[in-house]
């Protein structure tokens, strides 16, 4: 594929697809602008080149209806502050109003179009909607890694109707970290996979077991593996229909010589609530009516030792129900352990990103992905639809 610095942008209308699906409070105040800040290198490059910049994005799930609370206006306001330049806000993402505004747009200026998902055609990858978006630009740059695993009009369909397509600096960085480090990692290579369900990450585990030297499995999904080994796990989250697949992964690790690590103790409670009575027990002693909700101190020590000599660490998924303080210690301890390692560390977005931010260790992680779902699909070994579309566009031209 082509990248932004390989395309002549001077004086051209350049449309950026960003992922500005940022968290907001009830008053529409942005609570975390990480995704906005991540786009500044691409934006500043285009502005320095004298491009007429048009920004498209989605926000939330309005399901094809115009929802005032999901307007991108607060994002335009925040971006104006970060760029120290006014970002014009359109009332729509296509149609006469947008076309009239675009005619007035001068080189070095920026306008943002309204939420793409106000149109149901966006998520349907509708050809006509794609064509309407494409008619507004000369060059299309996709820098929305967080949405790259979706095949929508704004990141797949549009590439069929624009002459020049490319990827922005953020997309380039994401692909570089995940592709290069997964294909040719510096070893020992350790993967830490957590989260609640094996079903969400089964393909990831199957793919990673062939690449890593050590695999740590934590979170709720660990109990399916523990049950596969014959342990009683009480009311802990375990997917009985995946026990055979868990056994296959355990056997595969033995065949390939991959060291597989599971919790050896856990924090248990009768209910997943903040004021629950908790106990720390070995895995063999989980009470029948209780559930495991975090890894215990012995497991934390074990997992720390596992990653002590790692040269590459990839982490996706928390070690417990970290949203509740009583069950957050395991995840927090692992954040500190990963951050203080001497390895190249990649965190795969989503809940793990939130945990890292909450612990205050962001600056000590080599790379934090902006896309949870997209990074997970790369870990699964899949080709992202938006990436495939950019490659096809480059090939056609």
Does one domain contain both 141 and 77? yes
For the entire predicted model, the pTM comes to 0.89
Alpha helices by DSSP H, the chain: 34-37, 40-48, 73-83, 96-104, 120-123, 127-134, 169-175, 181-183, 198-208, 222-228, 243-256, 297-307, 329-339, 350-359, 372-379, 385-396
Rounded Cα distance, 285 and 304, in Å? 23
217 and 286 belong to one structural domain: yes
Q: Are 215 and 119 members of one domain?
A: no
Answer whether residue 336 is part of any domain: yes
State whether 229 and 157 are in the same domain: no
pLDDT at 57: 98
Predicted local confidence at residue 274, as pLDDT: 93
> Do 284 and 236 share a structural domain?
yes
Q: Is residue 118 part of a domain?
A: yes
Judge if 218 and 195 occupy the same domain.
yes
Q: Is there a single domain that holds both residue 131 and residue 190?
A: no
Are 122 and 259 in the same domain?
Answer: no
In a domain, 28, yes or no: yes
Residue 176 included in any domain: no
| Distance separating alpha carbons of residues 339 and 345, to the nearest angstrom | 8
145 with 267, same domain: the answer is: no
Query: What is the pLDDT, as a whole number, of residue 264?
Result: 98
Which residues form the catalytic set? 35, 197, 350, 373
pLDDT at position 379 is 84
Residue 136 and residue 90 in contact, taking contact as beta carbons nearer than 8 Å: no
Query: 374 lies in a domain?
Result: no
> Domain for residue 45, yes or no?
yes
208 and 345 both lie in a single domain: yes
- Give the pLDDT score at 370: 83
Q: How far apart are CA 124 and CA 105, in angstroms?
A: 30
* Residues 341 and 241 occupy one common structural domain: yes
Q: Which residues form the domain of 61?
A: 4-171+384-396
306 domain-assigned: yes
Find the CATH number of the domain harbouring 331. Answer: 3.40.50.1260
Q: Based on the structure, what is the number of domains in the chain?
A: 2
Q: What is the pLDDT along the chain (397 residues), one digit of tens a residue?
A: 999 999 999 999 999 999 999 989 988 899 989 899 999 999 999 999 999 999 999 999 999 999 999 999 999 999 999 999 999 999 999 999 999 999 999 999 999 999 999 999 999 999 999 999 999 999 999 999 989 999 999 999 999 999 999 999 999 999 988 877 778 899 999 999 999 889 889 999 999 999 999 999 999 999 999 999 999 999 999 999 999 999 999 999 999 999 999 999 999 999 999 999 999 999 999 999 999 999 999 999 999 999 999 999 999 999 999 999 999 999 999 999 999 999 999 998 678 888 898 899 999 999 998 887 888 888 888 899 999 999 999 887 6
Q: How far is Cα of residue 160 from the mean position of the Cα atoms in its chain? A: 26
Report yes or no on 56 lying in a domain.
yes
Do 49 and 157 lie in one domain? The reply is: yes
């Amino acid at each position: 594929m082509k990248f932004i610095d390989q395309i002549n942008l001077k004086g051209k209308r350049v449309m950026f697809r960003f992922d500005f699906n940022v968290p907001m409070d009830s008053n529409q105040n942005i609570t975390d602008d990480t995704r906005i800040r991540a786009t500044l290198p691409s934006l500043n490059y285009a502005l320095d080149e004298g491009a007429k910049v048009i920004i498209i994005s989605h926000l939330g799930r309005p399901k094809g209806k115009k929802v005032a609370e999901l307007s991108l206006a607060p994002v335009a306001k925040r971006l104006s502050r970060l760029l120290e330049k006014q970002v014009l806000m359109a009332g729509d993402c296509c149609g006469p109003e947008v076309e009239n505004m675009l005619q007035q747009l001068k080189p070095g200026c920026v306008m943002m179009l309204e939420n793409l998902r106000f149109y149901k055609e966006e998520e349907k990858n509708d050809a006509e909607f794609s064509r309407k978006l494409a008619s507004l630009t000369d060059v299309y740059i996709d820098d929305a890694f967080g949405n790259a695993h979706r095949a929508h009009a704004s990141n797949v369909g549009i590439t069929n109707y624009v002459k020049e397509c490319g990827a922005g600096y953020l997309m380039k960085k994401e692909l570089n970290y995940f592709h290069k480090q997964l294909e040719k990692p510096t070893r020992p290579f350790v993967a830490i996979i957590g989260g609640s369900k094996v079903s969400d990450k089964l393909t990831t585990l199957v793919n990673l077991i062939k690449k890593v030297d050590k695999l740590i499995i934590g979170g709720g999904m660990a109990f399916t593996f523990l049950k596969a080994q014959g342990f009683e796990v009480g009311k802990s989250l375990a997917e009985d229909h995946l026990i055979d697949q868990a056994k296959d992964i355990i056997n595969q690790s033995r065949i390939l010589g991959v060291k597989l690590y599971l919790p050896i103790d856990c924090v248990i409670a009768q209910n997943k609530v903040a004021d629950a009575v908790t106990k720390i027990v070995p895995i063999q002693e989980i009470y029948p009516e209780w559930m495991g909700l975090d890894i215990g101190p012995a497991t934390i020590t074990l997992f720390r030792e596992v990653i002590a000599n790692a040269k590459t660490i990839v982490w996706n998924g928390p070690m417990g129900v970290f949203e509740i303080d009583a069950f957050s210690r395991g995840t927090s301890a692992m954040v500190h352990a990963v951050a203080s390692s001497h390895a190249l560390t990649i965190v795969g977005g989503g809940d793990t990103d939130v945990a890292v931010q909450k612990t205050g260790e962001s600056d000590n992680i080599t790379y934090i992905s902006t896309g949870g779902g997209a990074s997970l699909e790369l870990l699964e070994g899949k080709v992202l639809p938006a990436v495939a579309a950019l490659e096809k566009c480059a090939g056609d031209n």
